[in-house]
Chain A
């Protein structure tokens, strides 16, 4: 059983992500939001649960499906939505959009639109933590597709030889865009790839908050104890298309419906009530709050100014002079 404060955080975070994502869909459909928007709906348990055990100082590196991680690691919905809409008030001043959103002040090393691109970077942050001996851990989120990238294998090896404080979280949502895992990946459970690098690998139900929580606690402890990395595979499912408007000929309605029945938020709600941690009314309140926050974020983003083209060339380089 997860302690009450963290349980609230997880439930709240899952709902904030869900509401944020659905708001983004509606803004996209009403043509107020452009570009690639990769949605996390259905996978919220992973980001919310993992981040409930992290402090602001710990690092995460995220993926092209990164809104959930960003929010779970502490982003405000306002700043995140403004970034999705390319506004100057966004986390990255409108330069990043959905696919590159980052908030280093909260330890978020960024969404990464190159599949597998963030894994070595998270590994490097873990190297820094180890060299600085500051007790921080890094979490590298990536999908099943990325586990076929060289950077995944290189990073697992590096982290293993150097015993780095990092947890590799594979969010296996069963498809790389349209290609099912079985067509692209040589193993049924990606967690077995940990064995190749001499590190623990474990597969959990990615829609089960408590299962994720348990596995991550062990991995996190191992990392903080200096024993090195762990690979956790969370089997989950993306409810929506790869992008808004994806006709999804590669999977059936029935399959999608079946996974919607396994909704991580509903499941955890039932659990929380069963465990007597929160009442149904309390949870309703959390949900309403999340919805209101998402609505406000959309308003904030819509009313935010566009970035000034005069700043186009700002921040290509740090101009503050050399370190002394």
Chain B
């Protein structure tokens, strides 16, 4: 009387397994309860005992083959018995003596209490978790469904998440005498981390660079200075970007599954470094503001950002971001798009350099611009035109009027 051995379900989430090693050869004798094969799932590696006694008539699955839960993997019977007949009988109906009335169940006789009682509510596919546990799991990138719950009715509670062993999670280490320190991840750092990763993971970020001759901008700034109006080069860049954005609405847009939404308004975020991390306060309606107005607003925002005195409103609603690391001597860099915006302009240091002008070597103040744009929305050529337009405006600031 033959019996079919199936891929046993190990744990509630398992849908398939890989047999890594058969421990018994075809034709060998095997007793119920003795090790039969080794297998792996996405969560564990385990040795599985035989659920039948007799001769291993046939191994149906090769090592390293992925097998769905409850699929037949081997046949045990009397020596010389026809394994195919057993298989046919077993798959037609429940063969006499077959173990798997419920394919997912392990043999009842050997392991009567397979499922822990606390897991009962999960049968419906629902896992109870406290709100705090859910929040905590999300912050740590853990799927709480995978975490055994220790609360009432098997509910997942915060401590279950904190105790959960997650692949890739850092095991708390005992501090060595010298060398490494654990700094708790601050909320702000966590948010920045999430947003940066999310941006890189979900947008098609591409990059263009060019160099701008800032001579005209330098002259403009000097003229304004003479009129006792103090503006920074970054303010001039923001003003030019704002103007260019009005001409390239796709650069001033957001995208979801159905629509690309362009904005009639231009709100420019300016990246500001603080001790705690990066913040991006927003200059609203930058396209409608004069250069001195932009200058005044940007100064105020920068000051208050560093004093941590911004309102939440001032940190949201941007349509495009300008990031400037010139003050740190950075010549050029690639910025990551501040989602859901479509682009970000990275501004480098302005430096006097020799350039060829009308076949003569002259000294000019140069500055590199690097545009990161979302290629899902904007193709390379229009992005290039946009960046070139910014250059044009910076080199001919009279066009701003």
- A and B, direct touch (CB closer than 8 Å): no
Binding site for B on A (CB under 8 A): none
Binding site for A on B (CB under 8 A): none
